[in-house]
Structure formats: structure tokens, C-alpha cells
Structure 1
Amino acid sequence: MVKRVETTSDSVVDRVYEQLKAMAVSFEFKPGERLNEGAIAARLGVSRTPLREALNRLNTEGFLRFAPGRGFFCRELDAQEIFDLYELRKSIEISAIRLAIQRARDQDIDALLTFLRDTGPDPGERTSMELVKLDETFHEGLLSMSNNAEMLRVLRNVNARIRFVRWIDMDRINRTKTQAEHRAVLLGVKARDEAKCVPVLEKHIDRRLDQITSAIKEGYAQIYMPAAGLTRAL
């Protein structure tokens, strides 16, 4: 009986965590906004206990901020933090691809090549969110070939924390070029040739601080302008 209660509780915390994470990633909470725990608990239909567990987990993972005596806050869109996360992403992926050159199975490489072919270089009618999801799927699939689960866990955290900026950034990217780079990296892994894939991947991921700052400015406009427009309409 006790075991069943614990399982249900864990399930509730996981559900609330995923809901809050989606809200934090998309900046449904405004940057720097203090979270009203009572209002959020009522909205999600949960008590304060699972809500607080989920909030603490998100704070630990860098999606929220906690100030003692003040509560939880939505993280800011900070250019230096995003830049640091891009550097972390690049470091992880470069290390992982070196492992993948040694460990990747040809059938897994071919499966990812098929994924690139099937999703195609043409963005079509896909939204920026859908295109970023495809890109994350590729990079996580590439890293999976390293057979290092901890690297993959960290990459997924980084991807989620930079996702909002990547949605903005996606509108500026030439998908035909990026898909060609994806293919070149995979073919380099298949040839077990580090010199053919590491430089391409490094340049592919790299972002300058001024590029990130520009994307963040546009991001703030997208966060606040709809609210401003609604206020004017009322």
C-alpha cells in the first residue's frame, strides 16, 4: 500500500516537473518574474508538496532561480550564460564524436543518414520549433553513438536551456547548409576520420557572443510585445 502511494506521488511530481519545464523553456513565465506558487498549484491541480519538489528540481537543473526568503524566479535571458552553454555543448559534442568514431556501429550511422534524407534540407511548412526539434534529434542521435549516457543526459539539459534562443536563431539559419554539414559529419564518423568531422562539427555548433546577444534581443521582443499588444487592444 505504501509503495503504491510513493509511486503515485512520484508520478505527480514528474508530471508537474514536465509541465513547469515546458513553461520555463518557452518563457511562459517572464524573465525575472517571481513565481506565484499558490496560483501555479491551483492551475496545475496539485498540492504545494509535489509543486515544490518539481520547482527545486528545475532550480537545480538551471531552468529556474531560487532566492532564499523570496522564492522561485524565472531565469533571465542572459547572453553570457547562453554563450557558456553553447561552449559546453560544443565541448561535449566534440568529445562525444571522438568516442563515436571508435564505437559507432555502421547501421546506426546509416540510420541517422536515412533520418537526414527523410527529413530533408527543405524546411517546408515546419515551424521553428519543429525544425529545432529535428536538429536536436540529430545531435542527440549523433552523441548516442558515443555510448556515453551521462554525456547524453548533459546535452539534453543544455539543449533545453538554450532552446528558446535556438527557436529565434533558427529563422536565420540556412537549413540546406546545416543539413550538408550534418551529412559531412556523419560520413566522417563512418570513415573513422576525425579530421573530416571534428572541424565541421565545431564550426557548425559555434556561436559568437554578439550573435547570441542579437538573438536574445529579438527573444525579449517576442516575449513582451504580444503582451503589450494585448494591453493596447484592451
Structure 2
Amino acid sequence: METKQGAVERAYRALKEMAASYKFKPDERLNESTLSVQLNISRTPLREALNRLIAEGFFTFRSGQGFYCRSLNPSEIMDLYEARAAIESEAARLAARRFDPAELAGLQRFLKESEAVYSPGVSPVELVRLDEEFHLRLAKLSGNAELVRLLENVAERIHYIRIIDLQSLSEREGVPAITIRPHVRILAAVKAGNEEGAAREMNAHISRRLEEVTQNVRMAFSRIYAP
């Protein structure tokens, strides 16, 4: 028999995939009754799952109205990507100066093991999860807890659009376009103690996506509202 926590986790994963595949339109109000029947789950674990996804930027809650799919605002997303580039570039710079060798070796192993996941048919949700873990672990090598907290906040707020971004990229250019090579270059600079090189590689990595994010938001809108 499924436990309450198991039901929450199942609903969380299902709703996340639904949001990532454009099952909900931006600013659309969610029908909890319909979702409860569709997912074969009671309202309490459904709401717990929805609240988890609010924290990750997939949905919002309006008092007295209910849960809504979040908006897609290109200007806000650009601001967040720019903030992310600044935070992560400084974190990479400090990581090159302060990294713990054992933690760096662990991150290198994680990156090598995750390479096999980058294959045809893999969910963009899973790719973003691996990518976020890499960036967060790298930020922790900086030894600066405030930078880590700032990155966690920004990552939560762009999580939804990053899934759209990766999905659009893989559809347009194929899975080989999604690669760990930029991460390998960043780690190499960190390991060499090259502070400027690590910051430069990180900034280039994030800025490449920044240049395409507005286009991908527009593509998402065209996909969502396609007849």
C-alpha cells in the first residue's frame, strides 16, 4: 500500500514532467479536482507536491484563488540568468583558490559518471537535475556559504525555464549539443588554480545559454499555444 510520502513523491514527479512538457499554460489556474482524479491521489498529498514545485519555480499560489502555472517573463528570466552568471563566476574564481582536493576529486567522479546520462531520449528534467547538482557542488568549493545560498535561490527561480531551454536545444540541435565539455573545462581551470580562467569558463558557459533564452521562451510560447 502506498504511503502518504510515496504519494507525494509520485505526484511531485508527475506534475514536474507535466509542467516541463507544456501540459499547463503560463498563468493557467490548476484544477485540483481534475489533477486528483488524473493522478489517483487525494488532495492533501497533491497540495504537498504542488507546494514543493512552487519552491522550484514551476507554480505559484494566489491566496483565495489556488495554484497557477508560473508566468514566462523574458525580462525577468534575463535578469536571473545575468545574476546567475555573476554569482557562479565569482564562486568559480574562489573555488580555484580554496578548493578541497578530496571534494574536487569527488566532483570530477560525479561528472564522469553523469556523462552516460547524456543520451537520446533522456528527460530534460533529469539533465537539469544533474546540471544543478554539478553547479551547486562547484559553488560549495568556493567556501562561501552566502554565494551558495544566492545560487540556490536563483537556481530554484529559473529551474522551470532551464528545462524548457534544454528541451528546445536538444530538439533543435540534437542531444550531442548537450554536453559535459564546458563543465570539464571549468573543473580543469579550478584544479589548476587558475582563478581568472575558471571565472571566464563559467561566465562563457552560462552566457551562451543567456543569449538563447529569449528565443527559447518564444519557442515555448509557440509550442504551448499551438492549435
TM-score range, shorter chain: 0.7 to 0.9
The amino acid of 1:145's aligned partner reads: L
TM-score, scaled to structure 2: 0.72
CA pair 160-22 structure 1, distance change in 2 beyond 3 A:
farther
- Match for residue 37 of structure 2? 42
Aligned pair count reads 218
Letter of the aligned partner of 1:51 in structure 2?
A: L
Deviations along 1:131-157, one digit per CA (max 9) or x if unpaired, are 656644543443353465746744652
C-alpha distance in structure 2 between counterparts of 1:115 and 1:13, whole Å: 28
Corresponding residue of 1:18:
13
Which of 1 and 2 has higher RCO (CA within 8 Å, sep 6+)?
2
Partner residue, 2:49: 54
| One-letter code aligned to 1:40 | L
Change (3 A) 1:68 1:119: closer
Question: In the alignment, what sits opposite 2:169?
Answer: 169
Residue 215 of structure 2 aligns with which residue? Answer: 214
Q: Percent identity?
A: 39
Give me the CA root mean square deviation. 3.7
- Indicate which of 137, 143, 163 corresponds to 2:139: 143
1:172–1:117 Cα change, 3 Å:
same
Structure 1 or 2, whichever has the larger Rg, is 1
2:184 is aligned to: 183
1:73-222 equivalent positions in 2, closer than 5 A: 73-110=68-105, 112-113=107-108, 125=120, 129=124, 135-136=131-132, 138-146=134-142, 150=149, 153-154=152-153, 157-158=156-157, 160-161=159-160, 162-170=162-170, 171=172, 179-206=180-207, 211-222=212-223
Instruction: Give the Cα–Cα distance (whole angstroms) in 1 for the partners of residues 5 and 71 of structure 2.
Output: 29
Q: 1:102 to 1:208 in 2, by over 3 A?
A: closer
Identify if the C-alpha distance between structure 1 residues 176 and 104 changes in structure 2 by more than 3 Å, giving closer, same or farther. farther
| Amino acid corresponding to residue 214 of structure 1 in structure 2 | Q
The two structures have a TM-score, normalised by structure 1, of 0.71
Contact 1:24 1:63 survives alignment (8 Å): yes
CA contact (8 A) 1:144 1:152 kept: no
Gaps (5+ residues) in structure 1? Answer: 1-7, 229-234
